[in-house]
């Protein structure tokens, strides 16, 4: 470790070690220890509820919101869309394992044939393309509703994202997602980690910042601010915009790799989507 | 360029927002004798470089659009100021991407 790096680590208050080159499982363990150390009173599965895990006032409002879950209509719409056949008579169920029911925990995964990360949302459009249907927009609308229904059928299943050790391309995709998460960007010069790791639990204007752990358990989300249901990549775009970085295309390679890393960090937590947030 | 680079690295350790003030101080004075067309072309080129690094700041393209409108309206000083600011933003974004290509590693959690 050279002096410059040592100095850097002191300044940002983190210890520099093998972190940049550690494997996925080591990354996940370190992150888990970091947050459980920082929030010793929060039970592990509670991290799936974002900032409501440790902000009591916001939590009360959220529990009230959940009395009449604002995403329920999206689940119903999504089920209807999911079950209506394509023009060729086939349906979504034909594209997925187990007819598409209870399978969200498998996503994102690295598709060895394609050589890329496939998110559930990408897979929905791949299914449409395979059946000569037009792609749906990725951030809101019908695709988000279908995703909401598929999440609903997967509630309670444990996230189990895999980075196959025998596939260097899969590891490279994971690494690129990890790099994205730790890279400063935008006019404000922030990384994802600046807010959600370093400043987790602190207030940023009206919001208490949630933890990386649990960031991938509950999508899509009905946000009061959006007034509709939106996918994880909509939230990511918004977090880019907050620091005055121009968002990338939804489902771009970078965003998919980021989602791969982010979801891996939540391995072992139970899916609880769709969810509501303010 | 070197000065900017030093600035950005320094910026990384200070509170966010410091980049913002600097870029908004881009003024027509920097332009010297260059014409709007020259500065606009240079800004577009700088933006293309940042774009290739997949690291564009969100206001840069808007600044360029506004510069074009101001120029068409005959508000030349303003047009030059806007294009200069866009160019500076794009250059800073490129430097940021280059600096971060290695620096991100120092930030990774480890025990």
Q: Where residue A199 sits, what CATH number does that domain have?
A: 1.10.760.10
Residues for chain B: how many in total?
111
Domain ranges for chain B, please list them: 35-111
Same domain, A175 and A272: yes
Residue B23 binned pLDDT confidence (cut-offs 50, 70, 90): very low
Whether the CA torsion A238, A211, A205, A276 is positive or negative: it is positive
Q: What is the mean pLDDT of chain A?
A: 94
Same domain, A89 and A183: no
What was the pLDDT predicted at B32? 53
What was the pLDDT predicted at A12? 46
- Quote the number of domains for chain A: 2
Same domain, A188 and A139: no
The range of the structural domain enclosing residue A185 comes to 2-68+165-277
User: Tell me: the pLDDT tens digits for A34-80?
Assistant: 999 999 999 999 999 999 999 999 999 999 999 999 999 999 999 99
**For the residues B95-99, what does the mean pLDDT come to?**
98
Domain end point (choices A95, A119, A152): A152
Q: What's the CA gap between B109 and B111, in Å, rounded?
A: 7
Same domain, A170 and A134: no
Whether A219 has a pLDDT exceeding 70, the answer reads yes
Ramachandran class of B110: left when φ > 0, alpha when ψ lies in -120 to 50, beta otherwise = beta
Whether B33 has a pLDDT exceeding 70, the answer reads no
A67 CA: distance to closest CA in chain B (Å)? 38
A201 CA: distance to closest CA in chain B (Å)? 17
Same domain, A64 and A169: yes
What was the pLDDT predicted at B34? 82
Same domain, A22 and A52: yes
Judged by DSSP in three states, A228 sits in strand
**For the residues B62-69, what does the mean pLDDT come to?**
98
Same domain, A62 and A176: yes
Residue A9 binned pLDDT confidence (cut-offs 50, 70, 90): very low
Which residues fall within 8 angstroms of residue A161, CB to CB, at 6 or more apart?
A105, A106, A107, A108, A109, A260, A263, A264, A267
What was the pLDDT predicted at B3? 42
Which residues of chain B have a CB within 8 Å of the CB of A16? 106, 108, 110
Ramachandran class of A149: left when φ > 0, alpha when ψ lies in -120 to 50, beta otherwise = alpha
User: Tell me: the pLDDT tens digits for A127-174?
Assistant: 999 999 999 999 999 999 999 999 999 999 999 999 999 999 999 999
What would the DSSP string read from start to end of B29-54? Answer: GGGTT--HHHHHHHHHHHHHHHHHTT
Would you say B81 and B28 are in contact if contact means Cβ atoms under 8 Å apart? Answer: yes
Residue A22 binned pLDDT confidence (cut-offs 50, 70, 90): confident
Maximal CA-CA distance, chain A? 65
Backbone angles phi, psi at A275, to 5 degrees: -135, 170
Q: Does B13 touch chain A (CB under 8 A)?
A: yes
CB B107 to CB A14 under 8 A? Answer: yes
Same domain, A179 and A263: yes
Give the residue, B27 or B100, on which the prediction is more confident. B100
Residues for chain A: how many in total?
278
Q: Is residue A240 part of a domain?
A: yes
Nearest to B104 among A31, A183, A189 (CB): A183
Which residues of chain A have a CB within 8 Å of the CB of B11? 189
What was the pLDDT predicted at A18? 55
CB B11 to CB A22 under 8 A? Answer: no
Q: What's the CA gap between A187 and B23, in Å, rounded?
A: 9
In chain A, count H helices and then E strands. Answer: 10, 7
Which residues of chain B have a CB within 8 Å of the CB of A30? 109-111
Is residue B84 packed enough to be buried (19+ CB in 10 Å), middle (13-18) or exposed (0-12)?
buried
Q: Is residue A158 part of a domain?
A: no
Instruction: Enter the pTM of the model.
Output: 0.89
Q: Does A9 touch chain B (CB under 8 A)?
A: yes
Same domain, A204 and A230: yes
Domain end point (choices A152, A185, A203): A152
Same domain, A56 and A173: yes
Backbone angles phi, psi at A67, to 5 degrees: -60, -40
A9 CA: distance to closest CA in chain B (Å)? 7
Whether A14 has a pLDDT exceeding 50, the answer reads no
* Bridge partner list, A229: A222
Residues of A noted as catalytic: 239
Nearest to B17 among A27, A31, A188 (CB): A188
Would you say A119 and A107 are in contact if contact means Cβ atoms under 8 Å apart? Answer: yes
Same domain, A58 and A94: no
Q: At A127, list the tokens.
A: 């299914």
Whether B22 has a pLDDT exceeding 70, the answer reads no
Same domain, A215 and A81: no
């Amino acid at each position: 470790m050279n002096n410059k790096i040592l100095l850097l680590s002191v300044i940002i208050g983190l210890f520099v070690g093998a972190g940049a080159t550690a494997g996925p499982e080591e990354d996940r363990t370190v992150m888990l220890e970091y947050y459980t150390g920082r929030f010793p009173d929060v039970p592990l599965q509670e991290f799936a509820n974002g900032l409501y895990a440790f902000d009591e006032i916001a939590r009360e409002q959220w529990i009230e919101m959940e009395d009449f879950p604002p995403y329920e209509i999206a689940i119903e719409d999504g089920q209807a869309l999911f079950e209506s056949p394509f023009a060729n008579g086939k349906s979504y169920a034909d594209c997925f394992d187990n007819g598409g029911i209870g399978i969200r925990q498998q996503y994102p995964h690295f598709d060895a044939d394609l050589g890329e990360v496939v998110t559930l949302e990408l897979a929905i459009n791949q299914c449409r393309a395979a059946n000569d249907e037009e792609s749906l927009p990725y951030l809101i609308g019908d695709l988000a509703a279908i995703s909401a229904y598929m999440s609903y059928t997967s509630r309670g299943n444990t996230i189990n994202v895999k980075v196959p050790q025998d596939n260097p391309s899969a590891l490279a995709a994971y690494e690129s997602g990890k790099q994205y998460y730790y890279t400063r960007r935008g006019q404000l010069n922030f990384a994802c980690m600046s807010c959600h790791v370093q400043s987790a639990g602190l207030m940023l204007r009206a919001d208490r910042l949630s933890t990386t752990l649990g960031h991938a358990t509950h999508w899509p989300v009905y946000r009061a601010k959006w007034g509709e249901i939106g996918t994880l990549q909509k939230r990511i775009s918004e977090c880019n915009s907050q620091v005055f970085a121009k968002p990338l295309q939804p489902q771009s390679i970078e965003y998919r790799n980021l989602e791969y890393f982010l979801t891996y960090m939540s391995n072992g937590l139970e899916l609880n989507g769709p969810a509501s947030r303010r | 360029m070197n000065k900017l680079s030093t600035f950005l690295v320094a910026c990384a350790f200070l509170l966010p927002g410091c980049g913002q003030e600097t870029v908004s101080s881009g003024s027509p004075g920097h332009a010297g004798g260059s014409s709007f067309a020259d500065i606009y072309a240079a800004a577009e080129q700088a933006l293309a470089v940042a774009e290739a690094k997949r690291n564009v700041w969100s206001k840069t393209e808007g600044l360029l659009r506004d510069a074009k409108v101001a120029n068409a309206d005959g508000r030349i000083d303003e047009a030059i100021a806007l294009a200069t600011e866009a160019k500076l933003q794009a250059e800073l974004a490129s430097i940021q991407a280059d600096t971060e290509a290695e620096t991100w590693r120092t930030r990774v959690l480890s025990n």
